[in-house]
Amino acid sequence: MTTIHDLTTPALIVDADLLERNLGTMAAALPGTRLRPHVKAHKCTALAKRQAAHGHHTFCCATVREMVGMAAAGLGSDLLLANETLDARRLAPLEARVTVAVDSEATIAAAAAAGGAVREVLIDVNVGLPRCGCDPADAGRLADLARQHGLGVRGVMGYEGHAVGMDDRAVRTQLCESAMELLLAAHALTGGDLISAGGTGTYDMNTWANEIQAGSYALMDTAYGKLRLPFVQALWVWSTIISLSPAYAVADCGLKSLGMDHGNPTVVGGAVWFCSDEHTTFAPDRPARVGDRIRVTPGHIDPTIAYHERMHVVSGEQVLETWPVDLRGW
């Protein structure tokens, strides 16, 4: 039997029970198609299959590679590329129901020119986050244009990314509501069955959308931790202390195994000083030894996972399964 002590470090470890708890909590709140799990958070078809086992069969992707991988894994019954692409032709060989977000004439033309790879689109609407999405007032024109190109218009999507991370629930709710007013106004212009929005931070307050694109809830994240959501952190970087001096210890994880855009990781049992390419220097709370293994909590989970080839699903010290992070790249 493999234990966490046998693993080559640094390694991603996932607590099996906590993952299941998160998946079950979300499936109870947003059953079936009310949730469209976003696979960008974990990039792992084995984890997506666990989400499917909880009743979700519609999925959301951020990259063409994720779409291709999900279809190849037999999870293609309803795949949404919730992102713009000029490269829709690469979706051609998929055995899947493929829907793509579009927000411009150019992205509609790319979808239409993809040789039948894309038959349906969502009009992506800017609801306040300065990123993708058209002006809400332009949604009807783009929907008409898509239909003229022979594409089915399934509705709208609009991500309230400026709201999902707000600590204050009242502020979060108010921003979410304002964003969804824009999305509903756009939907009135486009028609279609889907109003797709949301994220882990607004999963229980966004009652305007009829499907929620949440991904982080499965493994959670430090930044979301302060929102008092009913989901718990379930992923860490397992690391070995490889060097020790009187004042500090050095673990074998660093900038190439940790997403750093939210700042330094934290260490259970120590205070982090800094990270280098393959090292984290920290002051341990108690006496440590070279060879000790520690749990490191990354500042941001999504870009952390994207550095790793696999994640190990553990129960206590036992490794139950090892899942490839098979949706990396583009």
Q: Which CA distances in Å does 210 have to 23, 49, 157, 196?
A: 19, 22, 10, 6
In this structure, what token pair is assigned to residue 29? 């709140």
Tell me the window of 129-137, 148-156, 223-231, 313-321 that interacts with a second copy (CB under 8 A): 129-137
Distance CA 226, CA 209 (A): 24
Answer yes or no whether residue 107 interacts with a second copy by CB under 8 A.
Answer: yes
Count of residues that interact with a second copy, criterion CB under 8 A: 62
DSSP line for 196-252: EE--GGGTTT--SSSEE---GGGT--HHHHTT--S----EEEEEEEEEE-SS-EEES
- Is residue 8 classed as helix, strand or coil in its secondary structure? coil
Quote the least distance from Cβ 260 to a second copy, whole Å.
4
The reply to whether 291 sits near a second copy by the rule CB under 8 A is: yes
Quick one: which of 24, 152, 269, 329 contacts a second copy (CB under 8 A)?
329
Q: How far is the CB of 53 from a second copy (least distance, A)?
A: 25
One of 133, 198, 201, 265 touching a second copy (CB under 8 A)? 133
Q: Give ∠ CA 63-130-137 in degrees, rounded to 5.
A: 100
Mapped onto helix, strand or coil, the DSSP state of residue 39 is helix
Query: Which member of 22, 45, 58, 63 binds a second copy (CB under 8 A)?
Result: 63
Listed residue (170, 197, 171) closest to 184, CA to CA: 197
- Closer to a second copy by Cβ: residue 27 or 298: 298
> Which residue ranges make up the site for a second copy (CB under 8 A)?
8-11, 40, 62-64, 83-87, 90, 103-107, 124, 126, 130-133, 135, 161, 240, 242-245, 247-248, 250, 252, 255-257, 259-261, 273, 275-279, 281, 289-291, 300, 302-303, 306-309, 328-330
